């Protein structure tokens, strides 16, 4: 018999099974709690609630561990490409050379989007936020692929939709950027790899091509790997919840894009650059803002330092710090905002106040620096995040779809409104 916990309530004892994962994580299985006791649990923000069992990503915030399908993020970032990691997340194993080649070619063959998408894009003003545009364009794909509405499609059909989605999202993302810049769209180019093709569509113009720096390309590919999945975060959980209703894959991921748009989720690296610009505008006095961060009575927060999940260090930050250093060295950028960032980094890594509280620079800090160095506007930061996170969203959607115990997500609540009361006619109110 497995482990169990006992709940003592109202003179009765209820047995609650303990579920143990492959990394010895324990959870109380309360699936029958309401049925047996009449109780539900209240966990605001779901910080202590497991919504599913998953074999995709393991995260241990206390020890700074992040693994995709059992492989450390450090090894994957060093030895794999983003498409290789995408295959791993979606299909569960690292691909063979033949599998990766076919996967890459299949994706390359589906990078174009329907020409009518341009008509939708033209309807947006240039001031429209690229994440709003992207979410809308992703959702619109359901109209172009109506068979995606059928929840009973074959495995082959589902796989075709997944490949199509990975292929088209960089195109839609780059076009949302072009709309923001009011520049002509650039079509994907055959012969370029996934990351290079995105950079091509972002920065090329009809009049000239932009040389793709291999250091920049490598840094962006690493960022895509590092952001590919992060367990049951807000956007991944959103994709699962929407998908549990048998909504189309496009609708589910569109909802994930919308969730990622929030400044507390995918907008964190944007907040870093905005903070740095604020410090610059105020004279660039680092000491002043470090003191403000230490002052408990001051509402100011240093963005990009520490992490809600990682309690000691962010393993992704250790990887991307080097990439950020490489990009800045390669490009020789002279930017007072980035100078402030480097000074803040030095303080956080050496000041005892920050070290004691584990307020280390996180992945959002370094990704913001890289994007800033490339001249990418802050509104595009969460869009790049969305490209990366797509492979994770698809993995969670597919895992959810194949779960034999799948039920539509339907959280409970504790009602705190008025009790039963009599209706009052309008002339008596």
Residue 203 and residue 135 share a domain: yes
Residue 142 and residue 8 share a domain: no
The yes-or-no answer on residue 364 being catalytic is: yes
Residue 38 and residue 112 share a domain: no
> Do residues 138 and 169 make contact, with C-beta atoms less than 8 angstroms apart?
yes
pLDDT of residue 97: 97
pLDDT beyond 70 at 382: yes
pLDDT of residue 1: 59
Torsion of CA 283, 286, 292, 295, to 10 degrees: -160
CATH code for the domain in which residue 39 is found: 2.20.28
Indicate the angle between helix axes 97-108 and 194-203, nearest 10 degrees: 20
Encode pLDDT of 221-280 as tens digits.
999 999 999 999 999 999 999 999 999 999 999 999 999 998 888 888 888 889 999 999
In the chain, how many domains are there? Answer: 2
Residue 42 and residue 168 share a domain: no
Residue 19 and residue 121 share a domain: no
Q: Give the range of the structural domain holding residue 29, as residue numbers without chain letter.
A: 4-50
Encode pLDDT of 74-85 as tens digits.
999 999 999 999
CATH code for the domain in which residue 151 is found: 1.10.580.10
Average pLDDT over residues 313-320: 89
Residue 105 and residue 45 share a domain: no
Residue 107 and residue 214 share a domain: yes
Residue 134 and residue 176 share a domain: yes
Average pLDDT over residues 93-102: 98
Residue 132 and residue 16 share a domain: no
**351, part of any domain:** no
Q: Among residues 204, 227, 364, 396, which one is catalytic?
A: 364
Q: Among residues 204, 307, 314, 396, which one is catalytic?
A: 307
Which of these three, 229, 251, 282, is where a domain ends?
Answer: 229
**81, part of any domain:** yes
Residue 120 and residue 222 share a domain: yes
**159, part of any domain:** yes
pTM over 0.85: yes
Q: Report the length, in residues, of the chain.
A: 429
- Going through 21-93 in order, the beta strands assigned E by DSSP cover 26-28, 57-60, 65-68, 71-72
């Amino acid at each position: 018999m497995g482990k169990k916990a006992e709940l003592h309530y109202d003179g009765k004892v209820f047995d609650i099974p303990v579920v143990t994962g492959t990394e010895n994580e324990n959870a109380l299985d309360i699936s029958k709690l309401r049925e047996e006791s009449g109780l539900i649990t209240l966990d605001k923000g779901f910080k202590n609630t497991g919504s599913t069992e998953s074999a995709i990503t393991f995260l241990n915030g206390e020890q700074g561990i992040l693994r995709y399908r059992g492989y450390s993020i450090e090894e994957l970032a060093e030895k794999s490409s983003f498409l290789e990691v995408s295959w791993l997340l979606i299909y569960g194993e690292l691909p063979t050379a033949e599998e990766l080649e076919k996967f890459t070619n299949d994706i390359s063959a589906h990078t174009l989007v329907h020409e009518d998408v341009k008509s939708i894009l033209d309807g947006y003003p240039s001031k429209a936020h690229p994440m709003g545009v992207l979410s809308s364009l992703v959702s619109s794909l359901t109209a172009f692929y109506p068979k995606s509405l059928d929840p009973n499609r074959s495995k082959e059909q589902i796989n075709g939709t997944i490949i199509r989605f990975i292929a088209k999202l960089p195109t839609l993302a780059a076009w949302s950027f072009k709309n923001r810049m009011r520049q002509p769209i650039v079509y994907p180019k055959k012969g370029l790899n996934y990351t290079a093709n995105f950079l091509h569509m972002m920065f090329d113009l009809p009049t000239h091509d932009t040389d793709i720096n291999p250091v920049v390309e490598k840094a962006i590919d690493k960022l895509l790997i590092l952001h590919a999945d992060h367990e049951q975060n807000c956007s991944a959980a959103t994709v699962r919840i929407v998908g549990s209703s048998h909504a189309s894959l496009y609708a589910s991921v569109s909802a994930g894009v919308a969730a990622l748009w929030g400044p507390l989720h995918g907008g964190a690296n944007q907040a870093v650059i905005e903070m740095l610009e604020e410090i610059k505008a105020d004279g660039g006095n680092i000491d002043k803002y470090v003191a403000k961060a230490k002052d408990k009575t001051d509402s100011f927060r240093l963005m990009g330092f520490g992490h809600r999940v990682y309690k000691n260090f962010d393993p992704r930050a250790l990887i991307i710090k080097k990439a950020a250093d490489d990009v800045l060295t390669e490009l020789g950028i002279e930017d007072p905002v980035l100078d402030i960032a480097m000074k803040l980094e030095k303080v956080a890594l050496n000041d005892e106040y920050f070290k004691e509280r584990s307020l280390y620079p996180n992945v959002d800090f370094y990704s913001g620096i890289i994007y800033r160095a490339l001249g990418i506007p802050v509104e595009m930061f969460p869009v790049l995040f969305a490209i990366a996170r797509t492979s994770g969203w698809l993995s969670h959607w597919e895992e959810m779809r194949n779960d034999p115990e799948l039920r539509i997500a339907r959280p409970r609540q504790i009602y705190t409104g008025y009790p039963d009361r009599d209706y009052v006619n309008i002339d008596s109110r």
